[in-house]
Amino acid sequence: DTAVSQTPKYLVTQMGNDKSIKCEQNLGHDTMYWYKQDSKKFLKIMFSYNNKELIINETVPNRFSPKSPDKAHLNLHINSLELGDSAVYFCASSQRLAGGTGELFFGEGSRLTVL
């Protein structure tokens, strides 16, 4: 059983399109995150939800909209895709907030390529 699973693993799309990435965790964690890893391998936090409530919202274009229907799911929708959105997007979860004692469990990542 995969603890944190993301779909799809690969997306290739044209500029201007809209796409979604889904994430589910079966660890019973309260907190979920989206991280973006660019071509230079920098891992940057985008959003964090705790029990369906948005708690971290970094400076991310509002073309990115996260949604958490329940605490086991966190989806990411991206409108009007741009070339610079190409990256690997990681979903993660933790029992407690990661900045404290929360160990992050990452999904396998979703590689988005915008042409």
Partner 1 sequence: QQPVQSPQAVILREGEDAVINCSSSKALYSVHWYRQKHGEAPVFLMILLKGGEQKGHDKISASFNEKKQQSSLYLTASQLSYSGTYFCGTANFGNEKLTFGTGTRLTIIP
60 binds partner 1 per the rule CB under 8 A: no
Structure tokens at 12: 């290739």
1 binds partner 1 per the rule CB under 8 A: no
72 binds partner 1 per the rule CB under 8 A: no
Q: How far is the CB of 103 from partner 1 (least distance, A)?
A: 5
The single-letter DSSP state of residue 84 is G
What track of x and - describes contact with partner 1 for positions 11 through 50 (by CB under 8 A)? ------------------------x-----xxxxx--x--
Q: How far is the CB of 51 from partner 1 (least distance, A)?
A: 15
Half-sphere exposure of 69 (CA within 13 A, CB side): 7
Residues near 19 by beta carbon (within 8 Å), at least 6 away in sequence:
11, 13, 77, 78, 81, 112
107 binds partner 1 per the rule CB under 8 A: yes
CA Rg value for the chain = 13
Q: What angle do CA 16, 18, 24 make, to 5 degrees?
A: 150
Q: Which residues bind partner 1 (CB under 8 A)?
A: 35, 41-45, 48, 56, 90, 97-109
